[in-house]
């Protein structure tokens, strides 16, 4: 148990579908992150939230839409995705943004048909 829970663990969707990924952290942290992990590539930071405010959008296409209703929950809303969006999507949290270890969930494996 890492204290960061992601659902669903696996998701298959068509390019015209709309779905959402959910992340919940039980660590009392104030910063939350979305990363994309593709095969044979380093983890790519997508979004950062600090105290519910988005502080980083790493040039992510608008078909990915994050939402952070409170410091414990983070969502990633997906619509009209492309096949190249198939990847493992990881959520992480840290006490604050900065020189702090980030703790990861086990990810959602997303496949776009």
Partner 1 sequence: GESVGLHLPTLSVQEGDNSIINCAYSNSASDYFIWYKQESGKGPQFIIDIRSNMDKRQGQRVTVLLNKTVKHLSLQIAATQPGDSAVYFCAENIGGKLIFGQGTELSVKP
The residue among 18 and 38 lying less far from partner 1, judged by its C-beta, is 38
Alpha-carbon span 22 to 27, nearest angstrom = 16
Q: What binding mask, one character per residue, do residues 66-105 give for partner 1 by CB under 8 A, x or -?
A: ------------------------x-x----xxx-xxxxx
Do residues 94 and 102 touch, judged by C-beta distance below 8 A? yes
- Dihedral angle, C-alpha 54, 99, 1, 44, nearest 10 °: 60
Q: Which of 45, 67, 75, 79 binds partner 1 (CB under 8 A)?
A: 45
The residue among 60 and 80 lying less far from partner 1, judged by its C-beta, is 60
């Amino acid at each position: 148990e890492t204290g960061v829970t992601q659902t669903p663990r696996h998701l298959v969707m068509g390019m015209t579908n709309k779905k959402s990924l959910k992340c919940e952290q039980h660590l009392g942290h104030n910063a939350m992150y979305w990363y994309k992990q593709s095969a044979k590539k380093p983890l790519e930071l997508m979004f950062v939230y600090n105290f519910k405010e988005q502080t980083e959008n790493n040039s992510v296409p608008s078909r990915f839409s994050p939402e952070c209703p409170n410091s414990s929950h983070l969502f990633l809303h997906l619509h009209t995705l492309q096949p190249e969006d198939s990847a493992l999507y990881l959520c992480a949290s840290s006490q604050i943004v900065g020189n702090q270890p980030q703790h990861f969930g086990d990810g959602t494996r997303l496949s776009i048909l």
